[in-house]
Amino acid sequence: MKLIYKIIIFIIATFVILSFIPFDRTNKLSEAEIIAPEEVKLILKRSCYDCHSYETKHPFYSYVFPVSILINHHISEGREELNFSEFESLTLNKQSSKFRSIVEQIEENEMPLFGYTLLHRDAILSPEEKETLITWAKSRGGDSEDDDN
């Protein structure tokens, strides 16, 4: 066998083996899920919940190395910053600061993450959906001037 084939087989085998790196993909029970109008909830579930809740859906490619590493990193980082599944257990100050941040992230088109929308075209927010989320977030403290704490 030519060396190049051996190398290719070696690389593929390595990726397959690395795909068995265990990640905890179980979804915890949500105890203080965000309270929001149905219309808002549907958008959040479609565009944000994979990274910002305990209701993550794991597509088959999320099991394949090195995508597995990247996706799991996004989920743990995303949940750490903002977890809609335990949102109502935050203090009101903290909630307001998260709502300000949501307004900001949506206005600046930072969320949902670009790489995610490449594969999840349906997660892209329409101008009307952005407006819906922004108006809602502002009504829940996202338009206050207080500093984060």
State residue 23 phi and psi, 5-degree precision: -120, 145
Nearby residues of 8 by Cβ (< 8 Å), 6 or more positions away: none
Segment near ligand HEC (CB under 6 A); pick from 26-34, 54-62, 75-83, 88-96: 75-83
Neighbours of 47 (CB within 10 A): 22
The reply to whether 82 sits near ligand HEC by the rule CB under 6 A is yes
Radius of gyration from C-alpha coordinates of the chain:
19
For residue 93, give both structure tokens.
């100050």
Give the separation between CA 31 and CA 12, rounded to whole angstroms: 41
**Is residue 105 a contact residue for ligand HEC (CB under 6 A)?**
yes
Q: Which residue has the tokens 């949102």?
A: 87
Query: Is residue 50 a contact point for ligand HEC (CB under 6 A)?
Result: yes
Q: With binding defined as CB under 6 A, does residue 84 bind ligand HEC? A: no
Q: Of 31 and 81, which has the nearer Cβ to ligand HEC?
A: 81
Q: Which of 13, 21, 61, 77 binds ligand HEC (CB under 6 A)?
A: 77
Where does this chain bind ligand HEC (CB under 6 A)? 47-48, 50-52, 74, 77-78, 81-82, 98, 101-102, 105-106, 111-113, 116, 125
